[in-house]
């Protein structure tokens, strides 16, 4: 799993939430439930079982899919993808801050992928810019219609703020100080803060999401 803030990475295939086809390629496939529980759900100090599970997972061709499955489904017990509960805890804590635009594009293409809060917000903002209706957003993200309307209103405010501060940035998307912003001498070495995140201003991202949105519409 990668954490990216730009759209310059090549697209990667993403599995839907309900896609468990990777299970059959796991080295643990075919184990009896008793053996699997003993190895992958060991007692906290059963170091022998933990080492055996890690050795098996280390050779498994689908350990990444296994790890992602645990994150996407908030599974915090047992060993998944070769990581114990304690080792996965930091990943679970920050999963809602993940911003992977491959997942955003996949959602526009109609894939049923797990989206973090940040990724869901990115989908909503772009859907608003493209003129989507709340009904279409609700269908795409499988949301309650009233909740989709609330998200669209929040996206409208976010886009309005983006446009309001657009001229504070130069051609390289570097933040500059607002004309009416006064700064104390003691703060001269501090960079000016950005009122909106840099990825909002990435023209390549907007073009890529537009293409994904159009292709998703044609597929529908």
> Where in the chain are the domains?
21-96, 101-169+196-219
Distance CA 68, CA 93 (A): 14
* Residue 137 in tokens: 């957003």
Calculate mean pLDDT across residues 124-141: 91
DSSP 23: G
**Residue 215 scores a pLDDT above 90:** no
Q: What is the pLDDT of residue 214?
A: 67
* Contacts by residues 50-57 (CB-CB < 8 Å, ≥ 24 positions apart): 50/79, 50/84, 53/79, 53/82, 54/79, 54/82, 56/27, 56/28, 57/27, 57/81, 57/82
- Answering whether pTM is above 0.75, one says no
Lowest mean pLDDT, pick from 61-75, 91-105, 194-208: 194-208
């Amino acid at each position: 799993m990668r954490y990216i803030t730009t759209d310059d990475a090549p697209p990667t295939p993403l599995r839907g939430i309900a896609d468990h086809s990777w299970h059959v390629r796991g080295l643990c496939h075919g184990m009896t439930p008793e053996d699997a529980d003993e190895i992958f759900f060991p007692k906290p100090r059963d170091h022998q079982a933990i080492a055996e599970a890690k050795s098996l997972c280390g050779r498994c061709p689908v350990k990444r899919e296994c790890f992602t499955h645990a994150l996407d489904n908030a599974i915090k017990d047992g060993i998944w993808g070769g990581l114990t509960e304690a080792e996965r805890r930091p990943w679970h804590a920050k999963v809602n801050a993940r911003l992977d635009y491959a997942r955003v594009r996949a959602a526009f293409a109609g894939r049923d992928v797990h989206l973090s809060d940040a990724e869901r917000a990115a989908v909503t903002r772009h859907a608003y810019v493209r003129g989507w209706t709340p009904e279409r957003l609700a269908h795409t993200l499988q949301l309650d219609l009233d909740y989709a309307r609330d998200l669209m209103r929040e996206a409208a405010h976010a886009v309005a703020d983006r446009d309001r501060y657009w001229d504070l940035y130069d051609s390289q998307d570097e933040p500059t100080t607002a004309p009416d912003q006064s700064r104390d001498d003691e703060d001269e070495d501090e960079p000016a803060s950005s009122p909106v995140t840099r990825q909002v201003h990435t023209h390549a991202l907007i073009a890529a999401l537009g293409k994904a949105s159009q292709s998703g519409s044609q597929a529908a």
